[in-house]
Structure 1
Amino acid sequence: MLTIGIAKEILQRVGFPEQNCTDTTAICVIALQDRKPRQGLILGHQCLAEGARITDILEFARNDLGKNYAENTRETVRKHSLKYLVDFGLVHVNKDDPTRPVNSGNTNYTLVEEFDGLLKTYDDPSLFSNKIQGFVNEATINRKKYLESLENHKVQIEVPFKSHPLLLLSPGDHNIIEKLIVDELFIEEGRRTYLVYLGDTRNKKKYIDEELVERIRISVDEHAKLPDVIGFDESNNEVMIFEAVASSGPVDFLRKKELEVLFAKCPYSLRMSTVFLKRSVFQKFSNNIAPGTSAYIAETKMKAVYETF
């Protein structure tokens, strides 16, 4: 069985986000690799590797690793460990029944086959070294598959730090980018970012936090040329401004000026970014991106292609 330290090392080597590379995330990985026969699992499952609920993982942590997690930590484990393992292409959710609602009591997690295979080679340094390079390439492929899986369904976004129902956006590349902005970039570099505003391609004012709008002093009216997503990073007192680009419209010199006017009364520093769905779209507009702004490419997990202009 892997140790927590080794599991974390492997996660780091495959490029897993550092802020989520915690002991808890490592324990999730170790649990999902476990093939010891157990009682009390989902009907038909004989071991954790066949599909483990969060409750099963916590039970494993207590009984097998001596880590006494309270039951009320389940949501923390889901949001800060399993969610990112799924998003990064290392873990499946509900592989046995993809139509199962995510809030079902039978929601369960399994390792992606390629990642499971990589973990099994750790004791053979030569084989592991060869396999990890192939896996990193495989992870990129899985990332693209994940994005493709979102294309024909309503896009679901959880509003951070709010007891708020899921936002359901219409299908489409633009709204997929918005989901990735909230799910991934809002927590980049250990940030604590609140959602201020988010527009749907079919509903310009899909989400507005009126209190935060007033705090950062912007006008959200029908005439305002708002960016696609606005966040407020409380940890750095910084307003995060994002344009989601599926085909056109980065933060170029003119758009930057427009945004500076829109946020002229804002008492906080501004951080402007353009998020592209695909590298090909980024390459098309890369020469037009305004100095002092940032760009991300969704299909390559963003962090590896961060650019400052």
Structure 2
Amino acid sequence: MNKKQQKLIDESLAILQALDFPRAQQNERSALTLLALLNLTPPKTWKDAEGPMIGIRAILDFCRSNYGKPYAENTRETFRRQTMHQFVAAGLVVENPDKPERPTNSPKWCYQIEPSALSFLRDHFKAKTWKSELASYLTKRAGLTSKYAMEREMLMVSVTIAEGRAIQLTPGKHSQLIKEIIEEFASRFAPGSKVLYAGDTGEKWGYFDKEGLLALGVEVDMHGKMPDVVLYYPAKNWLLLVEAVTSHGPVDGKRRSELAKLFSRCTAGVVYVTAFPTRAEMARYLGEISWETEVWVAEAPTHMIHFNGVRFLGPYD
């Protein structure tokens, strides 16, 4: 690494310190991330800062190509969780400015330096006005952080899990399908059922009734891959394990075995269900769906498709 590269990294780190980021973000990784967000490479100066939309993959490429830092592919989650989440929370960065409702698991997920932060850094860092403008920016930032937090909250998908109770899931097709499973599928095919678990693309454990599962003999390993929705149907004493398919596959033979092992001690009868948003989506996976499972399609919510067996809907021994 040459002196010009190191100088920009050191200056970027000094900015993070001045903006009062926690020590966990005062490191080279976070400094390089800020430089990538501003598209700053030697021989550019801070007055040349830009505000491109950029994803985590592109940030890793930027570090390697422009600063000789070949971060491994498996560090993407570290960049996302240990740097970018904090940048977003502080109002320094905006998520998906072109499409705020973009689902978390979208390959097009991107970030952009917040416009007022861009102007502040471009116009005042390394200038005589830096100290006075820094104090002004820090004063305004609390309101900015609150503003973006409210905007993110407005985009959340509200899901009713019981009368008078709701949870908020990260926006996107997957969360919308989970909402339909709970509010449309359950009301028709498992009326009076109770939601014991609902996953979220943003936070894996979107809703988790640990005590409800323990009462059925199920102690879930936090590392176990849960189905997207778990419903307990007391009228039949059934536990319905529902996979919502928008990007990943259905309950195939392998997945059915995984779920059978995860819920092997359940005292209720276990029913395996795959939910699709449309029949066209179902057609893509038709050859993979396991026998002795059920299929529900959100666009035709009053119907079920039963894969083999003597019963329409129910557990198998």
**TM-score class, shorter:** 0.3 to 0.5
* TM-score normalized with structure 2 length: 0.46
